[in-house]
Structure 1
């Protein structure tokens, strides 16, 4: 995994935060009944903290594998002075393996599972961590074929960059809403799955590059030696400017996102085999 820059990540906070709020809005857990919430892939923690007033009696835990992000999140805890909010520096797969069954009322993972290969295989364990009637909510980007990613792969696979960056540009295929609907329904959950394309209007110079340099381009940029990185960035920015031309009102970045919200039912999910073809993605 790349190292992360919390300051770069939050530059476009309004756009990055909106899918989280749209996701959580579909979680039907009542304000008074929720006692334990976890946010897997919590980043700098601001969105995790926004769950405190939503469920005023809950303890809320954020988990992230980035030391930089967790450092920023723990500063937030000190600023807020609450014992209901805490953060763990841990890979989410390790956290899932060590967590207690039926311990959580709500599990949220926002813009995180796209980094985990075959993450549909984690769904049975995640559902097992929910109490009966508990809620699981996931959102991932669905734009891996969009120009900003296609151009990143294209430049990374040309010389003189390829020997350093080609492997870092590879991306595995990601589930769509139908995949989540099928897999979570097979685990005994009731499921609401959908997708949305946000037409984000970005401001500033080379805003699409600034956007992706804080997220999807980081593995490629960090794989490049220092002497090649400026040249790579210049070529990539030129292609992005052509693909996303500036308009008088800003630069439009269409961004598809995939959502699923599932509620664990009374049926024991272990009696439902995973649907054919979902566990080998």
Structure 2
């Protein structure tokens, strides 16, 4: 089995504008007047951290990620901010925060009932937990991943690859879990529609995210075969528009939870 591949910041940033838009939509819904301590969990190459720092310029803003490549890019992008290398699945806050920002990261972690309670407990009174998670496991892009994994010579090795991403709970689940943790909750879902340059662009989009649990366990030759078969499915699922573009539907769940003030 191939060694685990680190997150590729350059690949991720090929679609920076599209990936940053949900972060921008999320930060605009955060209602804090003068936060002093903010953290961006799963900060990646710093594009979301930059938005937090711009929105709250007087706050101490920290970025946290488990990828050395992502953090290298983030530090070059934002040299005045602090960035920490840590695994979020076993991270525990050493202080309380006015804002915990988590854009497109919590879907990689299990047991959301416990996870969201743990994050809410790390908020100061009146603090905000702002979360965005892709909610696209039933979209053709992800159905094609599972189908490709099940029908090739790698089927046994990839039998549990889909479990790398947590099943997203219902609106009711997150509202209940966070209410039990002492938070008021604003939640919504937005389906973005990205006009991309053909099936290859969809494949490139997911190579840095959703496809990684399927590709990382495979040697280089099998990765190429997997991607070729995946592309065939994508080409059928996303027909070209008259201008040659394909439309990638991308549902995302947003949660803004505010901890009760004492």
Alignment TM-score > 0.5, same fold: yes
Structure-1 residue corresponding to 2:201: 207
Structure-2 residue corresponding to 1:261: 256
Structure-2 residue corresponding to 1:139: 132
SS of the equivalent of 1:162 reads coil
Q: Out of 243, 247, 266, which is 2:241 matched to?
A: 247
Question: Does the 8 Å contact 1:36/1:104 carry over to 2?
Answer: yes
Question: Does the 8 Å contact 1:141/1:257 carry over to 2?
Answer: yes
Q: Is 2:147 the partner of 1:154? A: yes
Runs of 5+ unmatched residues, structure 1: 268-281
Q: Is 2:51 the partner of 1:50? A: yes
Runs of 4+ in 1 over 4 A off after TM superposition: none
Question: Does the 8 Å contact 2:199/2:238 carry over to 1?
Answer: no
SS of the equivalent of 1:68 reads helix
Question: Does the 8 Å contact 2:20/2:47 carry over to 1?
Answer: no
SS of the equivalent of 1:228 reads helix
Aligned equivalents of 1:73, 1:266: Cα separation in 2:
33
Runs of 5+ unmatched residues, structure 2: none
- TM-score normalised by L of structure 2: 0.92
Within a 5 Å distance, the mapping from 1:266-281 to structure 2 comes to 266=261
Question: Does the 8 Å contact 2:198/2:240 carry over to 1?
Answer: no
Q: Is 2:1 the partner of 1:7? A: no
162-171 or 18-27: which moved more?
162-171
Question: CA offsets per residue over residues 89-115 of structure 1, 9 Å max, x none?
Answer: 10123332x522xx2111110100000
Q: Is 2:86 the partner of 1:90? A: yes
Structure-2 residue corresponding to 1:271: none
244-253 or 135-144: which moved more?
244-253
Length, aligned pairs only: 257
Distance verdict in 2 for CA 1:138–1:164, change over 3 Å: same
Structure-2 residue corresponding to 1:278: none
Structure-1 residue corresponding to 2:22: 19
